[in-house]
Chain A
Amino acid sequence: MSEVRDIVLRASNVAKTFRSPNGENLEVLRGLSMEIARGESVSLRGESGAGKTTLMNVLAGLESPTRGEIFWDGRRVDRLSNSRQARLRSGFMGFVFQNYCLVPELDALENVELAARICGNFGRAVRERARGLLARVGLEGRMRHLPSQLSGGEKQRVAIARAIVNSPRIILADEPTGNLDESTAESVMEMLLSLCSHEGASILLITHNPAFARMTSRALYLERGQIAEV
């Protein structure tokens, strides 16, 4: 029982098949299983087109698996409606994307607050938390700047603060440093991992960079639709 409670995210025998335009079935995930424990940082590498993002989408409930089961905190979610999944996801998961995905009309602080608002939280406490997180990622003086006024590294730090604002159980980061130069990427990655560790959140980090993969507690490799421990 205690082991079940410690598992934040579990995929069991998950398969995902797409139908190609010429009518052929393309099996991207082939009955893979994996678990991520509470506070654990896991990296996932693989060739381009191996299905890393598809796996992340399936784990996050953004796409339904063709077969298999997904559990969030021990609760099976792949059979829930989209609406129900969305409600659970808002407090359970945070996302960091390669292309930042900040709302251009909102400044840095408002972008961080948006995730909390969608989760149903707003008010002074949320604002203070957002301010605190932005300060922790080194953007104390840039809170009122619009995304267009921030550098790539700064944007990604805003995205990290946004991912963490709801104190999620797990962060799914899809190549978060893909658009950054080497030194910025390294500092962003360190920041992401330390913040997750500090907040007690697990992280699934999709990356091409073996050095970043080594920074996590466990490294996985996705090949031919199956997961391999590295």
Chain B
Amino acid sequence: MKWWLYIALKQLFPTGRPASFFAAVSVLGVALGVLGLFGTQSVMNGFHSQISEKLRDTSGDVIIRNRGRPIENAEELKAKLLKLPGVKGAEIMAGGPVMMLHKNVPAFPMLRSYDTISQDCALPIKEKDFIRMGSIDDLDDDSVIIGQYMGASRGISVGDTVEIVAPTILDKMKRDEIPMPVRLKVVGLLASGYSEVDGNIALVSLRRMRDLYSLGGAAHSVILRLEDGADCSKWAKEVGRKAVDFPFTVSTWLTSNESFLRVIKMEKVMMSLIIVLIIIVASFSICISLYTSVLRKTREIGLMGAMGARPWQIALTYCIQGFIIGALGSVAGLALTWIILHFREPIVEFVVGRQTLIDFYHFAHLPVKYELVDALRACAFSTVLCTLAGLLPAFRAARLKISEAMRNE
């Protein structure tokens, strides 16, 4: 082992003691910084991942629309799209806002169709068991499945009857017809886990939806489900947009929810930046401590110079100390992150209460997703910063004049 590494290690971990006070506190400081940074990033990744999954599950992978107009030849388009590579399933979808009355209390949900005949569905309603207190198979032309939060907020439960009035009522009134609301029986509750959906969406059969919106055989969109692991954006660009002609548009769940996803990503970046500032402050403390150590050890540094140590070797002694503190703190920080996030449930319960998590985010558990790149970035950042913190003391130590250092009192 090189002597400068040996001395650096000995100054941090002196003989007869596990670690010096300075080393222990510095490593702990860096570890807490890494915990803050990597922990926050992992939780934000968890949120992003969970929300993305919910968005994808409730939007479908790729959506083909007709610039706001109904798609007249929806069946034909669906058949054409199903032949494209990478397409796992396709669903003709009609949907739009309606007024829903229950015991004369109105609500204005978005109605979405489900093709009860073909049972083609681009959403994993059956696979992920989205329907509670009923089944999607119970849905027919005279029934409806409502979002669970909508049901809870309006006091609607399975077995109740709701009345639906569609905007097309205006057309009927223009034709002097007497519009009658459609009475539908609630046969299940939609519980996708995404509050936007569970609080605002109701499912009816495709035929009922067409009838409510006077669509005839048309639909509002064709929703595609791609093979597992497919890159939706790439598929839309390379396959989808080439396969469908004007006036159809091809969008993905990512583009449909772009703003929302960007907000989550921005939140992660902003939180990381704040914690980075904390780590920078910690590195200043390390710099000051190492600098004090240089001042305190002036005579020892002079002695090493007298014994033949070159200035760059003396400088390395302090730089290496910064590096070791950074590296050990990073590893300890990663371990601490894993331990704390592994036992996050009781912590969340103690700090904010699980109900808060459910109320605000509609997650029963705090989501966490570890990403190697975040871990590497946090470690590299902390280690580089700590090494840089050792530069000023190292420079000072290397510049000491041996004869003057030896006279230091």
Interface residues of A (CB under 8 A from B): 53-54, 57, 60, 62-63, 82-83, 86-91, 95, 97, 99, 101, 103-107, 110, 114-115, 117-119, 122, 144, 146
Which segment of B74-82, B252-260, B297-305, B322-330 sits at the interface?
A: B297-305
Complex-state Cα separation, A68 to B261, whole angstroms:
76
- Which chain A residue has the least Cβ–Cβ distance from B402? A62
Interface membership of chain B positions 118-157, coded 1 if the CB is closer than 8 angstroms to chain A and 0 otherwise:
0000000000000000000000000000000000000000
Q: Is the CB–CB distance between A118 and B309 below 8 Å? A: yes
Q: How far is the CA of A60 from the CA of B7 in the complex (A)?
A: 23
Contact indicator A118/B16 (Cβ below 8 Å): no
Q: Are A63 and B403 in contact (CB under 8 A)?
A: yes
Q: Are B15 and A105 in contact (CB under 8 A)?
A: yes
Residues of B3-24 at the interface with A, using a CB-CB cut-off of 8 Å, are 3, 6-7, 10-11, 14-16, 20
| B244 contacts the other chain (CB 8 A) | no
B residues less than 8 Å from A144 (CB atoms): 15
Q: A117-B6, A118-B3, A118-B307 are in contact. List 4 more A-B contacts (CB 8 A).
A: A57-B406, A63-B403, A97-B406, A104-B300
Closest to A109 in B: B15
The answer to whether A107 and B403 touch (CB under 8 A), given A89-B306, A114-B3, A118-B304, is no
Query: Does B390 count as interface, using CB distance less than 8 angstroms?
Result: no
> Can you show 30 pairs from A to B with CB atoms below 8 A apart?
A54-B403, A60-B306, A62-B403, A62-B406, A63-B401, A82-B310, A83-B310, A83-B311, A83-B312, A86-B308, A86-B309, A87-B308, A87-B310, A89-B306, A89-B308, A91-B308, A95-B307, A99-B299, A101-B303, A105-B10, A105-B20, A106-B14, A114-B3, A114-B6, A114-B7, A117-B3, A118-B308, A118-B309, A122-B1, A122-B3
Contact B299 A57 (CB under 8 A): no
A86 lies within 8 A of B310 (CB): yes
Return chain B residues, CB-CB under 8 Å to A60: 306
In angstroms, Cα B9 to Cα A110, docked, is: 13
Residues of B within 8 A of A (CB): 1, 3, 6-7, 10-11, 14-16, 20, 299-300, 302-312, 401-403, 406-407
What 8 A-B pairs come out closest when comparing CB atoms? A90-B308, A105-B14, A117-B3, A101-B303, A57-B403, A62-B403, A62-B402, A105-B10
Measured CB to CB, the nearest residue on chain A to B309 is A118
User: By CB atoms of chain B within 10 A, which of A87, A90, A110, A118 has the most?
Assistant: A118
Which residue of B is nearest A56, CB measured?
Answer: B403
CB atoms of A106 and B303 under 8 A apart: no
Q: Which residues of B contact A86 (CB under 8 A)?
A: 305, 308-310
Bound CA span A110–B11, Å: 13
Question: Bound complex: CA of A77 vs CA of B33, how far in Å?
Answer: 50
Choose among A53, A89, A105, A106 the residue with the greatest number of B CB atoms under 10 Å from its CB.
A105
Nearest chain-B residue to A148 (Cβ)? B16
Shortest distance in angstroms between A171's beta carbon and chain B's nearest beta carbon?
A: 12
For residue A63, which residues in chain B have a CB less than 8 angstroms away from its CB? 401, 403
> How far does the Cβ of B310 sit from chain A's closest Cβ, in whole Å?
5
Which of B10, B20, B307, B403 counts the most A-chain CB atoms under 10 A from its CB? B307
Q: Which residues of B contact A62 (CB under 8 A)?
A: 305-306, 402-403, 406
Docked-complex contact B308 and A114, CB < 8 angstroms: no
CA distance A133 to B51 in the complex (A): 70
Quick one: closest A residue to B5, CB to CB?
A117
Determine if B308 and A119 form an interchain contact, defined as CB atoms under 8 angstroms apart: yes
User: Taking the nearest CB of chain B, how far is it from the CB of A56, in angstroms?
Assistant: 9
Q: Which residues of A contact B300 (CB under 8 A)?
A: 101, 103-104
Known contacts A63-B403, A97-B406, A117-B3; is-contact A106 B15 (Cβ 8 Å): yes
Known: A95-B306, A103-B10, A110-B15. A82 touches B406 (CB 8 A): no
Q: In the complex the two chains form, is A115's CB within 8 Å of B307's CB?
A: yes
Question: CB distance A97 to B303 under 8 Å?
Answer: yes
B409 to chain A, nearest CB (A): 9
Complex-state Cα separation, A146 to B406, whole angstroms = 21
A54 to B11, CA, bound (A): 30
B175 → chain A, closest Cβ, in Å?
Answer: 96
Whole-angstrom CA separation of A145 from B375 in the bound complex? 42
Partner of B303 from A95, A105, A110, A119 at Cβ < 8 Å: A95
Q: Which chain A positions have C-beta within 8 A of B10?
A: 103, 105-106, 110
